[in-house]
Amino acid sequence: MFKVVIAMESVGDFPTFPEAFKKFFEDLCAAMEAGASQMVVETCCWIECTVAVGDFPVTGPLYIHQLKKITAACNYIDDQGVLRDPLPDIPEGALRAITSIFALDTRVREFDRAGRALEAMQTGTPFVE
């Protein structure tokens, strides 16, 4: 399941990545046309998904920079920046890349948060997320 979030608001759950990306792209373009700042686009808009990392399910966001890499691999957007309709099938290699990008990015964030919590415990300072 993929959840689309635009400007910190959930806009829907989708069973496949292509469906989620189509909604993300359309709503993100509308938000930008309405004046969304670059900061909002980069930090408050994402597609959330859950993947298995070993035996553990990991849920987290794919932000615009990761999505650019994924959509390039999937050839979802043409040379003029227009979303292809219909969206092409995801190539097998790109599907592995989606999972890898997501899992690695999520794990890095988890390790960073754990490291900051440990540092806070050692120094006696409050841990703030």
| Neighbouring residues of 21: CB distance < 8 A, sequence distance ≥ 6 | 47, 67, 70, 71, 76, 87
> Which domain range does residue 90 map to?
2-123
Task: Please state the pTM of the whole predicted model.
Answer: 0.70
> Residue 127 — pLDDT band, cuts 50, 70, 90?
very low
Q: What total number of domains does the chain contain?
A: 1
For residue 129, being part of any structural domain is answered with: no
For residue 93, being part of any structural domain is answered with: yes
Q: Cis (ω within 30 of 0) for the bond into 86?
A: yes
Neighbours of 21 (CB within 10 A): 25
Residue 26 has pLDDT above 50, yes or no: yes
Q: What is the mean pLDDT of residues 107-121?
A: 58
For residue 128, being part of any structural domain is answered with: no
**CB burial class (10 A; 0-12, 13-18, 19+) of residue 10?**
exposed
For residue 28, being part of any structural domain is answered with: yes
**pLDDT tens digit string along 2-14?**
899 999 999 999 9
Q: Is 127 helix (H, G, I), strand (E, B) or coil?
A: coil
Give the per-residue pLDDT at 27.
97
Residue 116 has pLDDT above 80, yes or no: no
Q: To the nearest 10°, the Cα dihedral for 84, 85, 89, 95?
A: 50
For residue 95, being part of any structural domain is answered with: yes
Task: Say if CB 19 and CB 2 are below 8 A apart.
Answer: yes
Share of the chain above pLDDT 70, in %: 66
Q: Of 86, 106, 102, give the one whose Cα is nearest residue 94.
A: 102
**pLDDT tens digit string along 75-97?**
888 888 888 888 888 777 666 66
For residue 66, being part of any structural domain is answered with: yes
Cα Rg of the chain (Å, integer): 16
